[in-house]
Amino acid sequence: MSGFLRIDYQAPTAAVEFTASLHNIGFAVLQSPPIPAGLVEQVYADWQSFFSSDEKFNYTFDPQRQRGYFPFQMERAKNQAHPDLKEFFHLYAREDLPPGLGAATWVLFQALIRIGADLLTWLEAYCPPEIQARFQPSLVKMTQDSPETLLRILHYPPLPKTVPRGVVRAAAHEDVNLITLLPAATQAGLEVQDRHGAWYRVPAEAGDLVVNVGDMLQLASQSYYCSTTHQVVNPEDTLAGESRFSLPLFIHPHPDVQLTPEITAQAYLQQRLQEIGLL
């Protein structure tokens, strides 16, 4: 995994190249996805204002619903001793935004949903027939209008002057869902681990879309698509004094979907939420 192929979303070969990348390394970087120019930047600006205000505490999350604002250092990655250096907001479809936030967030949410449907179609079409047969219903149908799909608006505040050894913005982890769609963040820092334990920077530029496999797709595909470990490392020099924002959309199946004969999507999600301290 010495480098990532940046795949042109509009190219005739995009589906084949994308599927191969997710099969081989669990990650892909897409150029020119159909996201309106300036939209991501507007969403970042809107939520920067939200996180800068103490009003955010009026939206502190309900553990049972997993919606709303999650304060700084609330979450720790599975099997990690220290919480991550981040705060975030969970937004699901058909919910009200906090006052003062414009419509840009919903426009982006829907654009990512549409792209996600394309990508799931590609993933099913370009995998072996025996893997396709496991997707019952199809990947698109199992996720269509799923109440569990969510946009996570992440804020990594400027680093404190002293950071305990080993504590990073987001410790090494795998995502729990089917696939994650991530517009380029406001800073670098995302890294992915290869099968030999080496770490590599994910080279997303403004306008790119990073996509990765989650644990649920790994289960449903019998590891044909593998969930790859990734992290967000701390910046150095002047960037340490600046915030970092990112906007992952986590695409989930409906709760009753059987990932394997033994476990449903709902049961698997509840298990993971307990492991990372959110339930």
* 195 within domain boundaries: yes
* 67 within domain boundaries: yes
* 1 within domain boundaries: no
Which residues does 269 contact at the CB level (< 8 Å), separation at least 6? Answer: 148, 176, 252, 255
Res 8: pLDDT: 97
Res 63: pLDDT: 86
Res 100: pLDDT: 87
Backbone angles phi, psi at 251, to 5 degrees: -90, 120
CATH number of the domain that residue 252 is part of: 2.60.120.330
Q: What is the 3-state secondary structure (H, E, C) of the chain?
A: CCCCCEEECCCCCHHHHHHHHHHHHCEEEEECCCCCCCHHHHHHHHHHHHHCCHHHHHHECECCCCEEEECCCCCCCCCCCCCCCCEEEEEECCCCCCCCCCCHHHHHHHHHHHHHHHHHHHHHHCCCHHHHCCCCCCHHHHHCCCCCCEEEEEEECCCCCCCCCCCCCEEEECCCCCEEEEECCCCCCEEEECCCCCEEECCCCCCCEEEEECHHHHHHCCCCCCCCCEEECCCCHHHHHCCEEECCEEECCCCCCEEECCEEHHHHHHHHHHHCCCC
Contact (CB, 8 A) for 102 and 87: no
β 249-251/244-246 pair status: unpaired
| Count of domains forming the chain | 1
Q: How far apart are CA 173 and CA 76, in angstroms?
A: 9
Record the tokens describing residue 71, joined without a space.
Answer: 């304060």
* 58 within domain boundaries: yes
* 168 within domain boundaries: yes
Res 94: pLDDT: 83
Q: How far apart are CA 224 and CA 109, in angstroms?
A: 28
pLDDT along the chain (279 residues), means of 10: 77 97 95 96 96 96 91 90 94 91 95 98 97 95 97 96 88 97 96 91 92 97 96 92 97 97 96 86
Record the tokens describing residue 201, joined without a space.
Answer: 């920077």
* 52 within domain boundaries: yes
* 182 within domain boundaries: yes
Q: What is the pTM of this model?
A: 0.96
Record the tokens describing residue 15, joined without a space.
Answer: 């589906």
Which residues does 199 contact at the CB level (< 8 Å), separation at least 6? Answer: 191, 192, 193, 231
Query: What's the domain range around 211?
Result: 6-275
Record the tokens describing residue 247, joined without a space.
Answer: 């906007």
Which residues does 40 contact at the CB level (< 8 Å), separation at least 6? Answer: 108, 183, 184, 207, 247
* 90 within domain boundaries: yes
